[in-house]
Chains A and B, each alone.
Chain A
Amino acid sequence: MATDPKIADSPIREIQVEALVVMRIIKHSTTSFPTPATGCLVGMDIGSQLQITNSFPFPASNPENQQTNSNPADPYHQSDQVALSLAAPRAKSSATYAGEMIKYLREVNVDAQGVGWYMSCSMGNFVSQAFVENQAFYQRGQEEKTVALVFDVSRSSQGSLNLKAYRLSPSFMAAFKDSKFSTESIQKSKLRYQDIFIELPITIHNSHLLTSFLHQIPAAPPQKTALDFPASLAELHHDPNIASNPLAPNLESLDLSIDPFLEKTTDLMLESIEQHTTEQNNASYYQRSLAREQTKIKTWQEKRKNENLLRTQQKQPLLPEDEWQKLFKLPTEPSRLELMLVGRQVEQYARQVDGFNAVVSGKMFGVRGNLLPGEMA
C-alpha cells in the first residue's frame, strides 16, 4: 500500500481540536444527515500545530429561495441541496457570512482567525471535485495554514469517533493552480492519486472547566462503601443509583452486525467503478476523435501537396500548406483529475474495509470461542 506523502512537507504537522468543536460538528452533522453539513473553523496556529477552538455552520439556502434571488449566471448557483451545502465553503455569500460571524465572535474573545472548514460524510465518500475545490480555495487564500476536517457520520454511530484532517499536498496544489490535468502534465509532475491529500493527526483538548465538569457528571460517590442489595428484580431495573451514566463505557463497538456495512461499502464501490468507466470512456473517445482528426488532416495535406506539385508544373501560385490549422479543430483532452479522485476514493474505501476487517475478525473469533468452548481458533 502506497504511503502518504511525508507530513514534513506541509507547514502544519498536527491538529489540536477543542472538545467544544467536536461536539458542535457532531451535532450539526447528525441533524443535517443525510445532506452533508459544512461549516467554518476558527482558531489559531501555533508553530506547526493548528488549534481549532470554535466552529459555526454555513447557511445553505434552499433551492426555492435561491430561484427568487439568484440568477443562473452566477458561478456559484447550484441546483440541489447537496451541491449547495458542498459548495457553501467557497461561495461568496458564505464568505461574507463567515466574515461577519468572525467579527462578532471577536468581540467575545473567540479566536478570530479562520483556519479551515469541516464537512460531514457517510461511509467515507468525501473525495470529490467539490471537496478538492473547497480546500484549494482555502489554501490559496490569505492564510495558507488551513485544514479540512471530515466527520464520518455513519461510522461514528457504530462506536468510535471518526474525524480526520486533510490538506492538499504542495505538488497537487501546483498542478491544480494551472488546472491542467492532461496526460503530459501529469507525466511531468509524476502525480499519483495517493499524493493528493496529506492526513494530519488530531488531538482533542479540554479546558479546565470542562475537565472539572467531566469529573462531576457521574453522581457523587455514595455515602456507604457498598450499595445495599436490591430487594427484588423489579427494584434492580428501576434503581436510580444504577441509572445510565452518560460517561459509562460505550459498548456499541462490541456489536456484531456485518452485513449493512459490507452492503453499503460495495454499493459505494460500484458507484466509484461506474465513475471510473465513464471517465475511461471519455478518454478513449477523445483519443479516437483525435485519431480521426489526424487522419483527416493527413489526407488533406496530401491533397494539397499533390495540388502544389501540379501547380508548380503549370507555373501557378502555390497554395498555402498550413491552412489545415484553420480548417480542422483538434479536440481538447479531457481533464484527468476525476480519474485521480476516483482512484483516491477507492483507496479510501479499501482502507476502511481493511480496518473493519481487523475489528470484525477479532469479534467473530471471540464469539466463536465462546459458543464452542474448548476449541482453539
Chain B
Amino acid sequence: MAGDPKNYLHLARPLAPAPIATQSSAVTAPVTVTLHPQALFSILDHASRRPADQDRVIGTLLGTRSEDGTEVSISNCYAVPHTETAEQVEVDMDYQKRMLELHLRAAPKEVLVGWYATSGDLNTFSALIQNFYGQQGEGTWPHPAVHLTVGTKAGQDIEANTYISAPIGVTAERAADSCLFIPVPHEIKYDDASKSGLELIAGARDREDRSQFLQTDVEMLERAVEQVLEMLERVSNYVSDVLDEEREPSTALGQFLLNTLSLAPKVNPEDIEKDFNNHIQDVLLVSYLSNTIRTQIDLSNRLVTAALTMGPGDGAAATAGEGGEGKGQREGGGGGRGGRGGRGGRSGQAGRDQGRREEQ
C-alpha cells in the first residue's frame, strides 16, 4: 500500500441528467483520500468478527472533508449489519441511521463520507449500496461517496482501494444498480501521536502469542539506543570497506555522511562541563524536591491520624504542636495557626470528657 506510487487519472465523473432541478449540482472535483490507522484497524477487527456465513461485511465511514471537497480524511468507522444472497442484498438502514446519530453526538465534526467493504470485488450490490450512500438527503450528496475496499483474504496481501462513483446505465431502471467506480488516490497517514502506540503494537508482530507488555521509559530508551548503534555499525562497516577499497564509493553517500557528521557541535570542554553540570543539577534538584514534598505530605497525613490515638495529655499536645510547627516551617503563619488549633483541640477534647463525667 505504501509501495509504488500509482498513477491516477481523474475523470470529472459524468453525471446523470438530474431529475430534480437543484441549485447546486454534484461536485466533480478530484478527490484524494487520507486514511487514519484507527479506521483501518477497526475495519480489520470487524472483518475478523464477521458471521461465519458471510464473505464480506460492510460499514460506514466517517470523517472530515476539506472546504472544497477535494480532500477527504477518514478518521472513524462503524459496522452495519447486512445480508447478502445471490439475488438480493439487505442493509439495515435504521441501524445505520441510529449509529450515525450516536456517533455524531460524540464527535459532531465527523460526518458521513462513504462506506467500506471487506473484500476487493465490486459487483452490482456494491453499486446499489454506493448509490444509497451517495444519494440526496441522507447520503453524502453533493459530494461523492467514497467507497473503500480492504481485501481480507487470509494469505493474500491486505490491499486497500478507494473509489468514487459516477452513475452509469443503459436504461433508467438499470441506473439504480449500476455504477462506474473511479479509483482515487489514497494514503494512510500516521500522525505523531499514533507513532508511539504503533511502535508497541508492531513490537508484538514477531512474537508467538501476538502480545506485548507495555514497556517503561527506560526500556524504550534502551531499544532506541540499540537501534541507533546498529545503524551506526552498518555505516562504519561500509566506510571502512570503502577505505580498504573493497566496496565502491559513492560520492552522494559520502557527502551525506559528511553533512551529518558536521552537525556535531564544536564546543569548549569547559562550556560542556558547565552546561552538563547545570542540567544534571536541575534534574536532581527537582527529583529531590518532589521526593521531599511527598515525604512531607505523607508525614502530615500520618500525624493527623496518629496523634489523635494518643490520649489527652502533654505528650499528645507536644506531638500535635510539633506537627503543627513542622508544617509551619513550610508555610509560616498558616502552620502556626494549625499548631495552636491542634493544642486547642486537645484541651477541647479534655474539656468535653470532663463535662461528660460531671453530668454522670
Cβ of B83 under 8 Å from chain A: no
Given A97-B102, A109-B50, A159-B220: A360 in contact with B283 (beta carbons within 8 A) = yes
A358 touches B293 (CB 8 A): no
Cβ of B75 under 8 Å from chain A: yes
Cβ-defined partner of A346 (8 Å) among B1, B297, B351: B297
Chain A residues in 8 Å Cβ range of B154: 208-209, 212
Tell me, in angstroms, the Cα distance from A186 to B253 when the chains sit together. 69
Chain A residues in 8 Å Cβ range of B349: 294
What is the minimal beta-carbon distance from A120 to any residue of chain B, in angstroms?
11
Q: Residues 227-254 of chain B: 1 if any A CB is under 8 Å from the residue's CB, otherwise 0?
A: 1100000000000000000001011110
Chain A residues in 8 Å Cβ range of B284: 357
A186 touches B305 (CB 8 A): yes
Cβ of B301 under 8 Å from chain A: yes
Chain A residues in 8 Å Cβ range of B331: 277
Cβ of B327 under 8 Å from chain A: yes
A23 touches B265 (CB 8 A): no
Chain A residues in 8 Å Cβ range of B201: 19, 22-23, 204, 206, 210, 214
Cβ of B14 under 8 Å from chain A: no
Given A160-B196, A187-B305, A214-B201: A291 in contact with B298 (beta carbons within 8 A) = no
Given A284-B338, A357-B284: A23 in contact with B197 (beta carbons within 8 A) = yes
Cβ-defined partner of A163 (8 Å) among B95, B102, B214, B305: B214
- Chain A's interface size range is 35 or more
Interface of B is mostly: helix
Q: Which residue of A lies closest to B192 (CB)?
A: A157
Q: Which residue of A lies closest to B304 (CB)?
A: A183
Cβ of A175 under 8 Å from chain B: no
Cβ of B17 under 8 Å from chain A: no
Cβ-defined partner of A250 (8 Å) among B99, B196, B214: B196
State which residues 1-38 of A face B: CB under 8 Å. 2, 16, 18-20, 22-24, 26-27, 29-30
B347 touches A280 (CB 8 A): no
Q: Residues 282-325 of chain B: 1 if any A CB is under 8 Å from the residue's CB, otherwise 0?
A: 11101101110110011011101110110000000000000000
Q: Residues 189-232 of chain A: 1 if any B CB is under 8 Å from the residue's CB, otherwise 0?
A: 00011000000011111111111111111011000000001111
Q: What would 6 A/B residue contacts be, using CB atoms closer than 8 Å?
A: A100-B98, A184-B308, A201-B213, A233-B259, A246-B188, A259-B282
